[in-house]
Structure 1
């Protein structure tokens, strides 16, 4: 066996914070919440389960269990903690000892505080009744704090059964839990909750204080490198995230074999040697074969800085990166996967699976499975002619995996000056990807940090997230990621020109729909803002042939955080609204409503408004829009309003529809903005015309003092915005982008009076439809208002209610309409009923039609 002394410059991991501890504490907390919620909302079931358990143990068994439970309590409360602490002291695990003592103290304090708080301040609360339920008149103790203390101790003291005392304490704890439930000392929810509480405290303490890392370091790391086939002479950590002050230099001497050998054969050979020579001499030689001593003559910081000249491809899957120089002077890259960091990659992969409709990145829960995936993909890429760093070997221990490859002394693309990225270099990217795609391989994580430029040759590394039998979508994502990356490095024009030169315009058109930020690497997104990404997509759209149909936009995301937030707001709004309604009064009012007026209100609030909105959009769009198709889009918008604030849903769906019709995003935004502005102006003009025709303007009473004060305040704000220069500049900065977008459409529209008239007709139909629906909803209860008063009440109340950013205006709109009718003299119960009926007909009643319309449009690829 080859004995060698290697220089190791590494960061000293005295302790680490493991993400798994924080994740485990979160799971424990979720478990406690779930148990308590289930116990409260299914209290009868919880009581029935506890009763059944108690009935299953007759008086004889209960008497027999008295002695075991007393013995177990003694063992758990005194001897078990003492044994664990003694073993920690004996094995000199000082950090684990301090963590265990702190966890026990926190668990004791927290559990007793909870017991005291529930008894003193929430004695009759549902959760307290569940935890302290009485069965057959027997008072059951609320919680048993010592179980939390023992659970916290075992969690903080030992992992993976490393301590004998911990391995024995856990079974004793669960036996005590079962017996205490059978004897009626605590309930099943209370027992589970108190144990989970201790586990949560122990895991939080471990995360906050840190724990000794269970990973390959020092001698074990050198052994793994030799097993992977590298006879290392120098090993230097090159991660930029490490703390310089933690660097140490070690001289590691070992004679462990290079490569994988037959251990059984070695054992037989060792036995033969022991027989032939003096056993004492063999033992002495073995003690000299392996050693780890500090290297005082080497400055670890200086060595670390020298090795930063080596460029190592970065990957989120890899925990640590090392540069290795072997006995022959060859350079290698060792990527180390550590089990204590694998959870982050796995959670990221799971989140992608939940959030996205496709699986384009993958990470296993086990580092060994991940290592197999990395090795398989690297070998497959080499086998199919994709140039990359040659794989040297893979070696693993219980907690770490080392993947050794030859190190190419070449910079990554993000470190290459733009002038060195010639057209020939850019073109190579598409050649390499095409070679891989023809063999069924997809990389799925293309960014500038994974691509090397070695003497003019482009090399794609880090095939960690790749797949062998790739789908068409995965391969198109590769191209989209490469195009967005190149646009950030060399500019949009050069990137697109290179793509067309190598792959053609048709492939460019099919790649454009997958260029969505949700599937782009964050390294690329950090250099490409949303504005730049939109400019790239518009530049690609401009390259489309005039007769080409727009490609279908691929929908990757199942949901977004914004969607989750808006749905939550909608649920809260509905809950608040329903909680504030006196259903008795509403039901009495609804029984008096006339069905004929309700039908008329539904027709007016649906058909007229859909048709008017379609005319409005069609009038202000130069492109040809079929009226029936455009009206169907307005119907589909009815379901979008459930999850977005009022007014935004139809505008967003109209923009998506215009994009499908070949209208660029910028022009589409201008058109939608112009439609909304024109709708506001038309509404104001309609009010004035109605007032003049009906003569109501002369009979309008003087507004109340509060309303006058509000109007004066609004006027003062407008005057301040116009007169104060900083405020005027701020207002101009806010308005100017919208004005720049809308103005070209206004210029185009000014020369087409027929379209202006058509838009006015459409906007007027919308206003008439909603006002008519509101009026007939009121008339169904036997009340009417003058047309002018009705129009003013509706338009002002609906506008004020829509200002509040709730999904679909749920809650604020109903409150504003009710208040407006009440001010107009309508009884409050009738006003509330009218507002609810109006919203039922024009909002909730249209949702089913919107769902069918949206499905129809999606099948036709129109939105």
Structure 2
């Protein structure tokens, strides 16, 4: 065997914080919450199980269990902790010993404090009742703190297989838990919760204090590199590390190059031992292997020198090393560590949950992930794609080393833009076309993994890709490539390069998948909002006027989905909490169903009126049916936003989706609201003149006269007092500046004005008709003028209160308005409830389906 003394520059990780400890603590805490919640909301089931257990263990069996439980509790509370702590001291695991002692202390404090809080402050809470047992007719708390202490000790001391004492203490703990439940000393939820509480404390203590890294390092790392087929002379860690923690060692080893049958060597050594004096047989490995500090080497200087190597980085890889072998050939060692692999697995799992496509994939174990990485790298190499060749793979229990040839070339992130000629960037599409013809997809293309070697573009890091890929996975490659080049050389050059190799038709089929969700974070951080905007505009300019690319939804859920679900949950909550179903049902039984149908028809009419109104005041073309669906969808938005604000926000969102800039959209929505107010006032005056009831109008009370006078005084003050007038002007001027160009446009389009007035009148007529038919369903009527004034004033006053959808204030104002108009209070209340049920709550189901339809069409 060749003996080699290799220089190793690495970070000395004496201790690390493992993500799996924090993740385990969170899972244990979630387990406690789930058990207690399930026990509270399924109390009858929990009580039944506990009762069955106690009936199964009658007094005789309980008496029989007394002695075993007492003996096991003695072993568990004294001898087991002592054995664990002594074994930790014997094995010189001082950090684990400190963690175990702290975990015991904190678990004891936390469990006893929990028991005290439940006894003193929450004696009758559902949780207390869940974890309490009845002893001699008295309900007492029986969380057993020592079980939390033992669980915390075993968790902090190490894994079950690391210490013999821990390996025996865990089964002993669960046996005592089961026997104590059978004996009726604690409940099942309480017992499991207290053990999980100890586990939470133990894992948090280990995470905060840290633990010895379970990974290959030093001599073990050099052995793995040699087993993978490289006789390493220099091994230098690169990447994001703390340079103050760098050290240099001289590692001497004679371990074999490549894999060797150690079992056969062991048999030969055994035969030689039997044939000769054992003193003459010396293990060559033990004599020639060792690691000593290299004081003559500056590790920081070596690191900075090797950091110039362009080593492709990946979230799948835990550590990266540059290796120079005995022949001077450079290699890249990608190391997968078991103590860091959880982060990669969680990221992959989250992508699978969030996206409809398999964007990233990572196995639950480092060995499974290493198999996928190796297979994909070999597939790319076999397909003729130029890239770093795979040299070998080796593994231990805690780490896997994947060795490839290292290409000494800069990445595109390090290359100046003038070096990225059209011939160079066109090579990206040629490489992807070759891979796609073989069925391979990369799925993680960014500037940090594409190398430029003497004018040749090389795509590396194929291990995140897939074999026998789907069409959408291949389109993701193209989308990622376009956005990467757009950030490097500009939008126009990137798109022109794509069209030279592919075609404009291919660009139009790729554009719908250019979404932030499928872009690598390196590309997202580099491109910025300006590049994204210019890319969208440039692609839109290439789209024929008669075609509109359909957006491909790659996410299972998105922020807007979460918002819509939240709106739905709040809607149900508000609906169930705000409606007195007994009153509504009593009112429905008295009402005439024909008039109720007519009232609902009036409410539906308002959606068409609102759609006509918005369509009239928008210069751009808006389909009437689509705009009407937007108004229907707005009915559910009003559940969680004050009246008027929700529909305006949804209209603005809709206009933006139709390509109307935000400034013009705000102006249009503002003009619609102002026109609606003006039209409503003019409608009241017109109705009064046509019915001849203008002179019959009278103010019902002095309080209303006082209110009107006060409002007039406020308006006069705002207009006459200079500081107030300036303040009012500052508030109104921005809106006026936005709305005025639309007003000028409307003046030159009288047909639009008439259409807007028709839409506004249709809305007002629909609401007043629905209100009048609701009243008529109980056999009462009012003159048209009185009905209109009563509704408009009452509805306006109720909507002023900033409650979601005006729930509560609107009903109260409508009831009061009808009572003032001479309608009996009981009928007025029933009318208000029926009206709101038909015009507000009745639109909620329709609004939900309309909103989901708009989201699928990417219009909201």
For 2:464, what is the secondary structure of its paired residue?
coil
Corresponding position of 1:619: 616
User: Deviation at 1:294?
Assistant: 1.2
User: Deviation at 1:637?
Assistant: 5.7
For 2:291, what is the secondary structure of its paired residue?
strand
Q: How far apart in 2 are the matches of 1:12 and 1:445?
A: 31
Corresponding position of 1:564: 562
User: Deviation at 1:183?
Assistant: 0.7
For 2:258, what is the secondary structure of its paired residue?
coil
Q: How far apart in 1 are the matches of 2:329 and 2:541?
A: 50
For 1:488, what is the secondary structure of its paired residue?
helix
Gaps of 5+ in 1: none
Corresponding position of 1:127: 127
Instruction: Say whether 1:690 aligns with 2:680.
Output: no
User: Deviation at 1:750?
Assistant: 5.1
Instruction: Say whether 1:26 aligns with 2:29.
Output: no
Instruction: Say whether 1:755 aligns with 2:752.
Output: yes
Corresponding position of 1:381: 380
Q: How far apart in 2 are the matches of 1:508 and 1:761?
A: 44
User: Deviation at 1:566?
Assistant: 5.8
Give the conservation status (yes or no) of the 8 Å contact 2:718–2:725.
no
Residue-by-residue CA offset, 1:674-707 (whole Å, 9 max, x unaligned): 5422320221212320342324998564354998
Corresponding position of 2:691: none
1:391-430 alignment to 2 at 5 Å?
391-430=390-429
Corresponding position of 2:51: 51
Corresponding position of 1:100: 100
Q: How far apart in 2 are the matches of 1:569 and 1:286?
A: 68
Give the conservation status (yes or no) of the 8 Å contact 2:440–2:469.
yes
Residue-by-residue CA offset, 1:479-503 (whole Å, 9 max, x unaligned): 1111111111111111111111221
User: Deviation at 1:507?
Assistant: 0.6
State TM-score, norm by structure 2.
0.89
User: Deviation at 1:428?
Assistant: 1.1
User: Deviation at 1:524?
Assistant: 1.2
Give the conservation status (yes or no) of the 8 Å contact 1:252–1:290.
yes
Corresponding position of 1:366: 365
Corresponding position of 1:788: 789
Most deviating of 265-274 and 100-109: 265-274
1:232-631 alignment to 2 at 5 Å?
232-240=232-240, 242-271=241-270, 274=273, 279-283=278-282, 285-547=284-546, 549-561=547-559, 563-564=561-562, 567-568=565-566, 571-572=569-570, 574-575=572-573, 578-579=576-577, 583-606=581-604, 608-620=605-617, 626-628=623-625, 630-631=627-628
Most deviating of 702-711 and 305-314: 702-711
Q: How far apart in 2 are the matches of 1:534 and 1:486?
A: 15
For 1:512, what is the secondary structure of its paired residue?
helix
Most deviating of 228-237 and 674-683: 674-683
User: Deviation at 1:247?
Assistant: 0.9
For 2:282, what is the secondary structure of its paired residue?
helix
Corresponding position of 2:674: 681
Corresponding position of 2:187: 187
Give the conservation status (yes or no) of the 8 Å contact 2:332–2:405.
yes
For 1:293, what is the secondary structure of its paired residue?
strand
Corresponding position of 1:3: 3
For 2:109, what is the secondary structure of its paired residue?
helix
Give the conservation status (yes or no) of the 8 Å contact 2:133–2:185.
no
Most deviating of 574-583 and 680-689: 574-583
1:161-200 alignment to 2 at 5 Å?
161-200=161-200
Most deviating of 783-792 and 11-20: 783-792
For 2:95, what is the secondary structure of its paired residue?
helix
CA 1:42/1:832 → structure 2, altered by over 3 Å: closer, same or farther? Answer: farther
Corresponding position of 1:90: 90
Give the conservation status (yes or no) of the 8 Å contact 1:616–1:760.
yes
User: Deviation at 1:362?
Assistant: 1.2
Give the conservation status (yes or no) of the 8 Å contact 1:585–1:829.
no
CA 1:326/1:546 → structure 2, altered by over 3 Å: closer, same or farther? Answer: same
Residue-by-residue CA offset, 1:561-597 (whole Å, 9 max, x unaligned): 4543564465356536644655555554454444344
Q: CA RMSD in A?
A: 3.5
CA 1:744/1:494 → structure 2, altered by over 3 Å: closer, same or farther? Answer: farther
Give the conservation status (yes or no) of the 8 Å contact 2:337–2:399.
yes
Give the conservation status (yes or no) of the 8 Å contact 1:687–1:792.
no
Q: How far apart in 2 are the matches of 1:400 and 1:151?
A: 29
CA 1:504/1:611 → structure 2, altered by over 3 Å: closer, same or farther? Answer: same
**Structure label with greater radius of gyration:** 2
Residue-by-residue CA offset, 1:214-272 (whole Å, 9 max, x unaligned): 111111111111111111111111122x1121111111111111112223333344445
Q: How far apart in 2 are the matches of 1:10 and 1:795?
A: 72
1:732-747 alignment to 2 at 5 Å?
739=738
Q: How far apart in 2 are the matches of 1:348 and 1:731?
A: 49
User: Deviation at 1:859?
Assistant: 9.1
Q: How far apart in 2 are the matches of 1:469 and 1:696?
A: 83
Give the conservation status (yes or no) of the 8 Å contact 1:682–1:764.
no
For 1:528, what is the secondary structure of its paired residue?
helix
Residue-by-residue CA offset, 1:116-156 (whole Å, 9 max, x unaligned): 11111111111111211327847565211111110111111
Q: How far apart in 1 are the matches of 2:306 and 2:696?
A: 84
Residue-by-residue CA offset, 1:72-100 (whole Å, 9 max, x unaligned): 11011111111101111111111111111
User: Deviation at 1:26?
Assistant: 0.9
Q: How far apart in 1 are the matches of 2:530 and 2:787?
A: 50
Most deviating of 459-468 and 273-282: 273-282
Most deviating of 761-770 and 327-336: 761-770
Residue-by-residue CA offset, 1:798-838 (whole Å, 9 max, x unaligned): 3654xx6xxxx4xx521331343366474998777656544
Q: How far apart in 1 are the matches of 2:710 and 2:174?
A: 68
CA 1:495/1:756 → structure 2, altered by over 3 Å: closer, same or farther? Answer: farther
CA 1:860/1:539 → structure 2, altered by over 3 Å: closer, same or farther? Answer: closer
Aligned length: 842
User: Deviation at 1:617?
Assistant: 4.4
Corresponding position of 1:214: 214
CA 1:659/1:682 → structure 2, altered by over 3 Å: closer, same or farther? Answer: closer
User: Deviation at 1:8?
Assistant: 0.8
For 1:404, what is the secondary structure of its paired residue?
strand
CA 1:746/1:519 → structure 2, altered by over 3 Å: closer, same or farther? Answer: farther
Give the conservation status (yes or no) of the 8 Å contact 2:5–2:233.
yes
CA 1:27/1:829 → structure 2, altered by over 3 Å: closer, same or farther? Answer: farther
Give the conservation status (yes or no) of the 8 Å contact 2:811–2:836.
no
Residue-by-residue CA offset, 1:180-211 (whole Å, 9 max, x unaligned): 00111001111011111111111111111111
User: Deviation at 1:301?
Assistant: 1.3
Give the conservation status (yes or no) of the 8 Å contact 1:679–1:763.
no
1:129-144 alignment to 2 at 5 Å?
129-134=129-134, 137=137, 141-144=141-144
Q: How far apart in 2 are the matches of 1:13 and 1:775?
A: 79
For 1:134, what is the secondary structure of its paired residue?
strand
User: Deviation at 1:416?
Assistant: 1.3
Gaps of 5+ in 2: 689-693
CA 1:182/1:848 → structure 2, altered by over 3 Å: closer, same or farther? Answer: same
Corresponding position of 1:151: 151
User: Deviation at 1:21?
Assistant: 1.0
Q: How far apart in 2 are the matches of 1:363 and 1:274?
A: 47
Q: How far apart in 2 are the matches of 1:456 and 1:387?
A: 13
Give the conservation status (yes or no) of the 8 Å contact 2:9–2:249.
yes
State TM-score, norm by structure 1.
0.89
Q: How far apart in 1 are the matches of 2:70 and 2:413?
A: 68
From 690, 702, 705, give the equivalent of 2:705.
702
Give the conservation status (yes or no) of the 8 Å contact 1:586–1:829.
no
For 2:312, what is the secondary structure of its paired residue?
coil
For 2:369, what is the secondary structure of its paired residue?
helix
Residue-by-residue CA offset, 1:29-80 (whole Å, 9 max, x unaligned): 1111111111111111111101111111233221211110000110111111
Give the conservation status (yes or no) of the 8 Å contact 1:118–1:128.
yes
